[in-house]
Structure 1
Amino acid sequence: MRITLSVLIILSCLPAKVLAQSNFADDLNFIRQFDEPIVLKSKDQQSQIVLSAQHQGRVLTSTSNGTSGQSNAWLNRTAIKNKQGNVGGEDRTWIAPIGSKYSLFYPAGKAIKNENWRVPPALQARDYLVINLDDTSAHFQKKLNLVNHQNTQFSALLDRKINLLNTQEISQSLGIQFPKTVKQVGYTSFNKLTNLAEDWDPNTGLITIWSLAMLQGSDDNISIFPIEPEQAPAQSYLYPLYADRLISKDHLVFYKTDGKYRSKIGIPANMSKNLMFSYAPSLNRLTVIKFSLDKKQLYPLSLEQADTSLAKGDVTNAYNHGNMDGSLLNESAFFELESAAPMLSLKTNESVTHTQQVVHFIGTTQELDLISQQLIGINVSDTKSVFDK
């Protein structure tokens, strides 16, 4: 379903429900009961990220204020305890496409319907190999064997390199300046997928890298996507989206990510910039995600349908969890921000790469406004009332 994003922002001053903060030390101590996490730290130990080789080399969570700071990711404690299922975490690599007749998530011979969706076994594999490790970086590797809906088989090698960024590197990468009083933690996830078998053929299906960040949903959380305003509207998936959850104004798309209504949007490459944002006033947190983007390439599809001949893929997606009636699903509020690499016809031993950089800023309203003004030309605090009636 497509919707036209041309509704004007409505301003008011209704209060937002505050989300209970998750403490980093509590999350780390819990993880250590069931895992042997890798913790990368800045010299002053204020910026820390928690990685797990057991869970696909993902970044489980992070803090910008040492062990006493808030934990930035959404974590599924039941899955961590049981060592199965999606454990959450703020940066992981899956493999696309999720939709189309070339999907990896619908078994061959079964209809492309929601009830047949399942995560491929290779993407549930545990125990990634640690190739290299130091105080601020880690390199993971895993061989993946995958089969798409057309029964095309793929053999590929996934490399994940995570680098913790210092303050100067964050400032240079984003091209901004911010006060020393702002707490921040940032890292770069560099991913490479190498074809280990026969040349990939677009007529039988291609695969690529798909990076996902799972964050805590809250009543006041809004995700923001800078766009080329003259381009076509975003793609809408799952349940219908209206102006109470999805609004476009000028060069920005605003999407309510409270974790209470199952929906998804996609931004195609020709419409997208290489940034996306999440702002939670109740947490005093602005999350900035920067990713690699090549507007000349084709990107994967998320449509749940076999005939996608007229559809264009998305370079970014945002998924909001929840029920259709706008309530929590399994008492768990989370959302995902996602970016993808292009779909390339790789020959044997050729690779596709994708970089995603995640930065969390914790600060006052004025400090976060200063950052957003430099990046997208608005005060991020003004978005608090975007969806108020």
Structure 2
Amino acid sequence: MRKCILYGALFLMACGQRTQQQEQTQQTDKKETITRPDNFGADVAFLKEYVETVILTDSTSKAAIAIVPAWQGRVMTSTAAGNDGRSLGWLNHDLIASKKTQPHINAYGGEDRFWLGPEGSQNSFYFAPGDTFDLAHWQVPAALDTEPFKLISKTKGTVTFERDIQLTNYKGHVFDIKATRTITLIARRDVRNYIGVDLHKNVQAVAFHSANTISNTGHHKWDTAYGMPSIWILGMFVAAEKNTVMIPVRNGGTVNDHYFGKVPEERLQANEKIVYFKADGKYRSKIGLKQHAGYNYLGSYDAVHKLLTIVQFTLPTTAQRYVNSSWGIQSFPFNGDAINAYNDGPPVEGQPQLGNFYELESSSPAAALKPGGSMEHYHRTIHLSGDDKHLDPIVKKVFGVTLAEIKKAL
């Protein structure tokens, strides 16, 4: 979720000012929350009760991921240790089990979700032309929420989806978009190629990436006047009491921490090299960094479960325009964030929250495409679990800090 905007999307998930969380929870707060085992096998069995679920497995380890074509080819959850291993994605069990469609958004969960920006501004795809920028009028397009992507091909380690999408932005301009999405499970032996460190034999690992392409299949050029979409990938993970998000900073970049109001110091610390953000699922907050302020990765460390998560993504080396998803007409609609992290919590004191999760998000630049043109955005998720002595060298290599520094940061 932006200040507009999980949620930031957000919806909560990514961006904003809204209280959509509150509306959704009000519809379910009288129902008893369903408690389920948190292992991968149980979550897969649960998903298969309600929706077609595709499983990719790694022949070199016990790693596996679960993907749902009906929800835009979304990677719902993963495991580094087989069916008995911890399920690493956050699932909205109650919403899925209800079989009911919610207004505005259906937050099913998932570690890698395909959306298109911007959420807000005069180029928004989430508000109809002339509508007021408020929750009552905010609507996630069905093609990004409840409608399926078509499964085109599948191997043991890769699956590809496609979808022709037509969206109208706030200006009334029509966008014909072909979305192609390929999910690949990365073999454990190949993880070192992405982190630059060999994995100790006792470190459990699961890694996957999505290659996301949008093509302009219409007759109009996408530009600053007409409007430009961006590829927006959001991952929802299980929050924990001692869970910290880490985002390396460069060029003296500053953090945008005003999406839902300024984040308290005890939940956000930043220096000239790195940002620490508390992701315990207890305080609704969101942060973002612009392209020039960050690198092509961010991550988190759950000290209780000894789980290191690394998210890597496409980040151009030359300056690009990024969509501004804040709700309302924007003076600078192409000066938005490239990197976001979100922590869920009650929308207001005393009100129930959407769920016990946090998000790691990446966005592509705005797609300035002529008819027939295409743009691709990669988003990779790596989970590593093991003793601190085996994870510490990886943290040092990737983030330039130690686990001890992360643990005492907040």
Report if TM-score (shorter chain) is over 0.5. Answer: yes
- Cross-structure match for 1:112: 133
Match of 2:153 among 111, 118, 132: 132
Matched, 1:261 2:283: yes
Matched, 1:224 2:246: yes
- Deviation at 1:86? 1.9
Match of 1:371 among 371, 394, 403: 394
Matched, 1:51 2:58: no
Matched, 1:164 2:180: no
- Retained in 2: the 8 A contact 1:190–1:353? yes
Q: Measure, in 1, the Cα distance between the counterparts of 2:285 and 2:398.
A: 27
- Cross-structure match for 1:213: 235
Matched, 1:24 2:40: yes
Note the 1:324-363 alignment, pairs <5 A.
Answer: 324=347, 329-330=352-353, 332-363=355-386
| CA shift in 2, pair 1:102/1:94, >3 Å | same
Q: Measure, in 2, the Cα distance between the counterparts of 1:328 and 1:89.
A: 24
SS, match of residue 41 in structure 2: helix
- Deviation at 1:115? 4.2
Q: Measure, in 1, the Cα distance between the counterparts of 2:260 and 2:44.
A: 34
Note the 1:2-151 alignment, pairs <5 A.
Answer: 22-44=38-60, 46-81=62-97, 82=99, 84=101, 85-151=106-172
The one-letter code of the counterpart of 1:344 is A
Q: Measure, in 2, the Cα distance between the counterparts of 1:329 and 1:362.
A: 31
SS, match of residue 31 in structure 1: helix
Q: Measure, in 2, the Cα distance between the counterparts of 1:283 and 1:64.
A: 13
Residue identity over aligned pairs, in percent, reads 30
- Deviation at 1:243? 0.7
- Deviation at 1:78? 2.4
Q: Measure, in 1, the Cα distance between the counterparts of 2:214 and 2:48.
A: 30
| CA shift in 2, pair 1:328/1:373, >3 Å | farther
| CA shift in 2, pair 1:111/1:339, >3 Å | same
| CA shift in 2, pair 1:365/1:83, >3 Å | farther
SS, match of residue 189 in structure 1: strand
Q: Measure, in 2, the Cα distance between the counterparts of 1:37 and 1:285.
A: 25
- Deviation at 1:287? 0.4
- Deviation at 1:330? 3.8
Q: Measure, in 2, the Cα distance between the counterparts of 1:21 and 1:284.
A: 19
| CA shift in 2, pair 1:138/1:304, >3 Å | same
- Retained in 1: the 8 A contact 2:248–2:274? yes
The one-letter code of the counterpart of 1:146 is L
- Cross-structure match for 1:181: 202
Q: Measure, in 2, the Cα distance between the counterparts of 1:381 and 1:338.
A: 25
The one-letter code of the counterpart of 2:342 is Y
Q: Measure, in 1, the Cα distance between the counterparts of 2:137 and 2:305.
A: 37
| CA shift in 2, pair 1:327/1:259, >3 Å | farther
- Cross-structure match for 1:299: 322
- Deviation at 1:231? 2.5
Q: Measure, in 2, the Cα distance between the counterparts of 1:244 and 1:53.
A: 40
Q: Measure, in 1, the Cα distance between the counterparts of 2:243 and 2:314.
A: 25
Q: Which shows bigger deviation, 84-93 or 355-364?
A: 84-93
Map Cα deviations across residues 256-307 of structure 1 (whole Å, 9 max, x no partner).
1112222211110010100100111111101000000014211121322312
Q: Measure, in 2, the Cα distance between the counterparts of 1:362 and 1:306.
A: 44
Match of 1:246 among 268, 280, 287: 268
| CA shift in 2, pair 1:83/1:349, >3 Å | farther
Q: Measure, in 2, the Cα distance between the counterparts of 1:63 and 1:273.
A: 27
SS, match of residue 292 in structure 2: coil
| CA shift in 2, pair 1:170/1:327, >3 Å | farther
- Deviation at 1:327? 7.2
SS, match of residue 81 in structure 2: coil
Root-mean-square deviation (CA, aligned residues, Å) is 2.1
- Cross-structure match for 1:316: 339
| CA shift in 2, pair 1:83/1:136, >3 Å | farther
Q: Which shows bigger deviation, 354-363 or 41-50?
A: 41-50
Q: Measure, in 1, the Cα distance between the counterparts of 2:223 and 2:344.
A: 34
Q: Which shows bigger deviation, 306-315 or 214-223?
A: 306-315
- Cross-structure match for 2:29: none
The one-letter code of the counterpart of 2:269 is I
The one-letter code of the counterpart of 2:153 is N
**Equivalences, count:** 370
- Retained in 2: the 8 A contact 1:186–1:358? yes
- Retained in 2: the 8 A contact 1:264–1:320? yes
The one-letter code of the counterpart of 1:78 is D
| CA shift in 2, pair 1:248/1:172, >3 Å | same
Unaligned stretches of 5+ residues in structure 1: 3-19
SS, match of residue 180 in structure 1: coil
